[in-house]
A and B are shown apart, each in its own frame.
Chain A
Amino acid sequence: NAGVTQTPKFQVLKTGQSMTLQCAQDMNHNSMYWYRQDPGMGLRLIYYSASEGTTDKGEVPNGYNVSRLNKREFSLRLESAAPSQTSVYFCASSEWARQVDTIYFGEGSWLTVV
């Protein structure tokens, strides 16, 4: 009954370093998302994948890349981390990217860039 699992939970990076956040879901969902959460700003969409084999930019895609590895997995990569990318990152999934579909979230990854 894992739902959406993301790793790592916590990470500290130096400016300019790269890293990949991993995400997997076991609900057989077709659509997956990456959000970031910053204090007082709610959650903002970085990238999403409406179905396996497709990815699209969200509201704040700059500085990130994504890979939909297969139906279960959707990774987020920071190629050259910047302090502005210090945030909490949430992976999420839904059956499809329809308006009626509920989006389910992982537990979050706390990233600090120094």
Chain B
Amino acid sequence: AQSVAQPEDQVNVAEGNPLTVKCTYSVSGNPYLFWYVQYPNRGLQFLLKYITGDNLVKGSYGFEAEFNKSQTSFHLKKPSALVSDSALYFCAVRDVRRYGGSQGNLIFGKGTKLSVKP
């Protein structure tokens, strides 16, 4: 079964420090991986995705993610955190099944709350 795990419910970082939000996945075949951010009482905003190619993917707001096939990980990173980065972050993998109520679906992790303190 395909799944995404975000092992940390919360990550606390001081402003200006680098941040990492962890994600591991389990899929059959090639993974198509996504990161979204959700601010309080708002929808999910797309940050970046890995489809193929370079293992380091750059996205919005200075975020990047590193795809590691051997460790089945897709960790989100930012070199210098901002207080405004405080939000809920979701890792997701695109469902590879074609039928049975899954075509095109995203399978989400449970989310990691990022708190950046001044």
Contact = CB atoms under 8 A, between A and B. Distances in A.
Interface of A: 4, 31, 33, 40-45, 48, 50, 56-59, 61, 90, 94, 96-108, 110
Given A90-B44, A102-B46, A58 B102 contact: yes
17 contacts: A4-B43, A31-B104, A40-B110, A41-B110, A42-B90, A42-B109, A42-B110, A43-B108, A48-B104, A58-B101, A58-B102, A94-B104, A99-B104, A102-B49, A103-B104, A104-B46, A110-B41
Contacts of B105: 33, 45, 48, 58-59
Interface in B43-86: 43-46, 49, 51
Contacts of B45: 105
A97 B49 CA distance: 15
Q: Mostly helix, strand, loop or mixed at chain A's interface?
A: loop
A97 B41 CA distance: 27
Contacts of A4: 43
Contacts of B94: 99-100
Contacts of A110: 41
A45 B2 CA distance: 14
Nearest to B32: A99
Given A40-B110, A50-B103, A100-B51, A108 B42 contact: yes
Contacts of B108: 42-44
Given A42-B90, A90-B44, A105-B44, A56 B109 contact: no
Contacts of A98: 104
A32 B110 CA distance: 22
Interface string B91-118: 0001110000111111011110000000
A32 to B, nearest CB: 10
A57 B104 contact: no
Nearest to A102: B46
A44 B95 CA distance: 12
A101 B105 CA distance: 10
A57 B96 CA distance: 16
B43 A105 contact: yes
